[in-house]
Structure 1
Amino acid sequence: MHQESTHTSEMLTLIFISFAAFLCRAAARPSAHYTENHFTADNESGEVRSAAIKRLLEVFGMEDPPAIHGHKQPPQYMLDLYNTVADVDGVTKDPYLLEGNTVRSFFDKLRSEQVEFRFNLSTVARTEKILTAELHLFKLRPQATQTFNRHHFCQVSVYQLLDRSKNNNTLEKKLLSSRLIPVHSTGWEVFTITQAVRSWMADEGSNLGLHVVVRTLGGSQMDLKLIRFASGRNHHQSKQPMLVLFTDDGRHSANLENADPSDGTVTSSLLQAPMSGPSSRSARSLDYSEEEGVSMPCQRLPLYVDFEEIGWSGWIVSPRGYNAYHCKGSCPFPLGQNMRPTNHATVQSIINALKLFKGVETPCCVPDKLFSINLLYFDDDENVVLKQYNDMVAGSCGCH
């Protein structure tokens, strides 16, 4: 009897332990309803993020982010141009510095040792207006220095290659640019070839490339040991032949911005503005005052857009992000001039204060000056593009 009692007690203990373990596992494991809701929330969050990034791409004029081909060095010319037109945050220094709103650089696709060059312009939209096209060639030091006494200058001519002649099957040429260059010089030489690029954009099949001819002042062919240009095959990437294209893609500002260009405040007010709003302590006090029902006055506050956080750092060269700023606060009656109110906003605030009409709200705190930013990035074909985007930064805020 005692053994049976002991056995029964052991069985009850095992059952209790098993049940307790089951309860622990059940408590640790989310319910099916919770799991389903959590999964749905994650999905919705992912969908929102995806939709938001897609919309941001549209703001930058793209359907998809460019493919990342690895860490390729942008041409120094494009880096220098970016630093000329943009500050460290990418904000445009002067809206009149850049011709058009897009600059593209293309490397030679032939990679020939001869003086022939061809550039693939398939990434340029047909709708873009071609403003200026430049051929950039790096002139190397002469190898035959003994000829300096005879030749101090040479004539360099750039020709557009046309269709083959029906008579002798040779390529016809059209002169695009020609000028004298010192024989002993070294460095970049730039030739305008806008006519050729416009014809290539009108008929892609007509793009047969360019041909460079070097002659003495007497018109005879120059020794290639004396006059040499870097090629894409044998020389460093920093010296490769390059086509630089200035275009306008037709985007126009919706804009409140751009005061008189002679007014230095157009960009200086933004550049000198503090990069942050209230200190963290005052920010906390403002948040607290809002909870108590007292709203802060209309003002500009920081809003940093981080391209690395979005996942775009692989194809964007500069900037790494920028401060878009945002406007926040109330526009209470009476509106002072520090609120930068329009006449309409002043009248609206008066009507609201006097309660002359139902449903008339106080004016809104919104940007009243906007500035453009510049993006330097690699496109799908590994070309480097500098593009200017209007209305991207709130320069100041006001009651409207």
Structure 2
Amino acid sequence: MEAPFEVLHNGKLLYYACLGRPSLAHLEAGDSDDKRAEALKRLLQVFGMEDPPQSPHRIKEPPQYMVDLYNTVAGDDGVTKDPDLLEGNTVRSFLDKIHSDQFHFLFILSSVAKNERVLTAELHLFKLRARVADGALLRRQHFCQVSVYQVLDKENLDSSDGKKLLSVRLLAVHGSGWEVFAITQAVRDWTEEESSNQGLLVTVRGLGGSPLDPSAVQFASGRDHHESKKPMLVLFTDDGRRGMMLPTNTFLDSSLQNPTFPEHLGSTSNRTRTPRSVDPQLPCQRHQLSVDFEEIGWSGWIISPRGYNAYHCRGSCPFPLGENMRPTNHATVQSIINALKLSQDVSGPCCVPDKLFSINLLYFDDDENVVLKQYDDMVAGSCGCH
């Protein structure tokens, strides 16, 4: 039995099973637009999508928070640095697109899938520098109390029935920067019943609830400020796809933290280096398999990475299997049965990945929100005879 392996051919990921592998010449002869479309459809399914998101109508900069989060959990190639850093496997960011004022916010969450379990939700507000004409007021007021409410009835906000308190924090009146408020319960309500989403209300008062000059504390609004300071909702979820196959909670060793990439992913010279046949004398080992998102037409909506090295396993599993082949007990027994020809129906073990790692994608969804998603079992970390 020959080992399964994968090849990136003309922008398509082609998978070959241990039995009945067709020749590349046959694939090239039968290559067609329908086959390409089917291959890309299957690849989208791997990434949990039915259709590729539409590219942004104009060049947009992703929120810096999402870029920083991606760089924290993933290397330049998208490979996960530590699987425990990210809560769940999906992080979604929503900008205030209805241009609310600085104290009322509404985020449209229609892109959240029904199967996603909401773990944590945060409201990110950019606090502007105070602009109070009365300097004495600033000297008297060093802190303020900021409260965030879930709006239950926007026509009855002055009543306790019209809003529900979600978060309260003390903030320094002086200074500026991003402030984060927990609003998890409200978002859970909204994802369960979309019509219940009437937005958020933010109030600012002095210590002890005393009135405060409205100009003393202001937040950037979706109406009047640059996108880099617009209010943002950040949602951490899990879509239930984690750990579906081999475990991925093992740290990459130093040789895998920065896998070697070809200088130009997907270039013609790179593709021609891919061997078209397996030398049966070569032992089971790991080889490069470069996936180029630009070549397959996905660079318009994927922000990072440009591509990644999936690696693939290729080589023979000859009898007797040594420890360097990382064989399972089952593979050892199968190898013995095959070598002794005790059964005509038993072939030798296959060279396959025995350790897989996850990658992360940072991309725009159909609503031009930025999503960070982690996908398990995408990189062959090591190979063995199974």
**TM class by shorter-chain length?**
0.7 to 0.9
TM superposition shift of 1:232 = 1.3
Conserved in 1, the CA contact under 8 Å of 2:248 and 2:358?
no
- Does residue 1:173 correspond to 2:160, yes or no? no
TM-score normalised by length of structure 1: 0.81
Task: Write the letter of the residue equivalent to 1:122.
Answer: S
Residue of structure 2 in register with 1:353 after alignment: 339
1:101 to 89, 97, 110: 89
Deviations 1:246-305 (A, max 9, x none): 00111132332335x5xxx545452155557xxx9xx98x88993xxx531111010001
Deviation at 1:231, TM superposition (A): 0.8
Specify whether residues 168 and 72 from structure 1 end up closer, same or farther in structure 2 by C-alpha distance, changes over 3 A only: closer
CA distance in 1, matches of 2:233, 2:118: 13
Whether the 8 Å CA contact 2:259–2:309 is kept in 1: the answer is no
Structure 2 counterpart of 1:52, from 30, 39, 42 = 39
Closer, same or farther in 2 for the Cα pair 1:115/1:152, shift >3 Å?
same
Question: Identity across aligned pairs (percent)?
Answer: 67
Is 1:160–1:209's contact at 8 Å kept on the other side of the alignment? Answer: yes
Higher radius of gyration, 1 or 2: 1
Report the counterpart of residue 383 of structure 2 in structure 1: 397
- Which of 358, 362, 373 is equivalent to 2:348? 362
Matched to 2:378, the amino acid is: M
CA contact (8 A) 1:164 1:171 kept: no
- C-alpha deviation, 1:226, in angstroms: 1.2
TM-score w.r.t. the length of structure 2 is: 0.84
Closer, same or farther: CA 360–175 of 1 in aligned 2, 3 Å: same
Given candidates 41, 52, 63, the residue that maps to 2:50 is: 63
* Correspondence 1:135 to 2:129: no
Gaps of 5+ in 1: 1-40
In the alignment, does 2:190 pair up with 1:190?
A: no
SS in 2 for 1:54: helix
Cα distance in 2, alignment partners of residues 164 and 88 from structure 1: 45
Report if aligned partners of 2:353, 2:383 keep a CA contact under 8 Å in 1: yes
Say yes or no: does 1:225 pair with 2:215: yes
1:168 shift after superposition: 8.9
Matching of residue 340 in structure 1 with residue 330 in structure 2 = no
Deviations 1:103-127 (A, max 9, x none): 0000113312341000000000122
Equivalent of 2:69 in 64, 67, 81: 81
Which of 146, 159, 162 is the equivalent residue of 2:152?
162
CA distance in 2, matches of 1:150, 1:353: 88
2:204 corresponds to 1:214: yes
**Which stretch has the larger CA shift, 138-147 or 316-325?**
138-147
* SS class of match (1:363): coil
For 2:317 and 2:300, how far apart are their aligned partners in 1?
Answer: 42
State the partner residue of 2:304.
Answer: 318
- 74-83 or 140-149, which moves further after superposition? 140-149
| Structure 2 residue ranges without an equivalent (≥5) | 1-27, 263-268
Give the Å deviation of 1:85.
0.5
Say if 2:54 and 2:365, in contact at 8 Å, map to a contact too. Answer: yes
Q: Which amino acid aligns with 1:104?
A: R
Please tell me the residue identity of whatever aligns with 2:218.
R
**In structure 2, what residue type is equivalent to 1:207?**
N
The 3 A distance-change label for structure 1 pair 312 and 167 is closer
- Read off the aligned partner of 2:214 and give its amino acid letter: L
Question: Against the structure 1 CA distance between its residues 306 and 184, is the aligned structure 2 distance closer, same or farther, given a 3 Å change threshold?
Answer: same
- CA 1:230 to 1:272, structure 2 compared with 1: closer, same or farther past 3 Å? closer
Aligned-residue offset at 1:42: 9.4
* Pair 1:216–1:166, CA change in 2 (3 A): closer
Cα distance in 2 between the residues matched to 1:287 and 1:186: 59
Equivalent pairs counted in the alignment come to: 348
> Deviation digits for residues 229-257 of structure 1, max 9, x if unmatched?
01111111100000000001111323323
Distance of aligned partners of 1:288 and 1:86 in 2 relative to their CA distance in 1, 3 Å threshold: closer
* Contact 1:165-1:171 within 8 A present in 2 as well: no
1:145-171 per-residue CA deviation (whole Å, 9 max, x = no partner) reads: 712210000000001111257899998
Task: Find the aligned partners of 1:238 and 1:116 in 2 and give their Cα distance.
Answer: 18
